[in-house]
């Protein structure tokens, strides 16, 4: 299994969920319908805060090579959090997102690397929507901040697949465990998206 093939498999397996997580309705769900600048920034900050906490915790008990990857990612997520909070007067992190609750229930390097990759693919969609929101809000400076944060996700994907290639090698069962965890992370985010929209009386499926 190559890194490219693994990412392609995860994307294909979760195509519907990723597509809908990349729609404008995802941001509507994240803010519980409050599509104003401050609420959007608060939702983004909450996501970054809890991601940083998850990866920092994982770095403490992973094997050396994998711990290094999680520690580097935790630092990036803290930087992202501080960047977003810099656009707010203050911020009190909200409840833990479903995807982070799922990730925190994973044990073992393989499952966590898979979950890490799944979260990164979901985060790509979120960053695209955040960038688009601020472009539409005639705020190019904030849009640029999120575009730059989105650029870090390429390095995170590479970090995840590099470690998986090292850990799994030619072990197909290992890759399957990682893929299951990656899909689980994406589906956790998608289920929360669906539940929030349905709770607000909004159809989670795109209108064609």
Task: For residue 69, give both structure tokens.
Answer: 């990857």
pTM listed for this prediction: 0.95
* C-alpha radius of gyration, the chain, whole number: 16
User: How much is the pLDDT for 132?
Assistant: 94
Asked if 114 and 3 touch (Cβ cutoff 8 Å), the reply is: no
* Three-class SS state of 34: coil
Architecture of domain 3-199: Up-down Bundle (1.20)
**How confident is the model at residue 206, as a pLDDT?**
63
Distance set, CA 145 to CA 91, 120, 125 (Å): 18, 17, 15
Give me the torsion for CA of 50, 51, 57, 63, rounded to 10°: 170
Name the region of 108 (left: φ>0; alpha: ψ -120 to 50; beta: rest): left
CA angle 66, 67, 70 (to 5 degrees): 90
Q: How far is CA 162 from CA 6, 104, 137, 167, 185, in A?
A: 11, 22, 38, 9, 19
> Domain ranges in the chain?
3-199
Cα distance between residue 8 and residue 22, in whole Å: 17
Averaged pLDDT, 4-8: 91
Judged against a pLDDT cut of 50, whether residue 208 lies above it is answered with no
Task: Read off the pLDDT of residues 127-158 as tens digits, 9 standing for 90 and up.
Answer: 999 999 999 999 999 999 999 999 999 999 99
């Amino acid at each position: 299994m190559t890194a490219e093939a693994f990412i392609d498999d995860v994307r294909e397996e979760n195509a519907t969920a990723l597509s809908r997580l990349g729609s404008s309705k995802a941001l509507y769900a994240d803010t519980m319908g409050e599509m104003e600048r401050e609420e959007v920034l608060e939702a983004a900050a909450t996501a970054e805060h809890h991601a940083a906490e998850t990866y920092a915790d994982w770095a403490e008990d992973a094997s050396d090579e994998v711990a290094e990857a999680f520690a580097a990612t935790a630092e990036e997520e803290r930087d992202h959090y501080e960047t977003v909070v810099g656009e707010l007067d203050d911020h009190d992190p909200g409840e833990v997102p479903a995807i982070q609750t799922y990730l925190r229930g994973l044990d073992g390097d393989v499952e966590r690397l898979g979950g890490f990759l799944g979260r990164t693919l979901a985060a790509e969609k979120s960053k695209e929507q955040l960038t688009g929101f601020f472009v539409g809000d005639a705020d190019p400076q904030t849009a640029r901040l999120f575009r730059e944060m989105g650029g870090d996700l390429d390095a995170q994907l590479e970090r995840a697949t590099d470690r998986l290639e090292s850990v799994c090698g030619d072990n197909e069962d290992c890759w399957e465990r990682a893929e299951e965890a990656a899909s689980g992370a994406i589906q956790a985010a998608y289920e929360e998206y669906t539940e929030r929209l349905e709770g607000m009386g909004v159809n989670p499926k795109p209108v064609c």
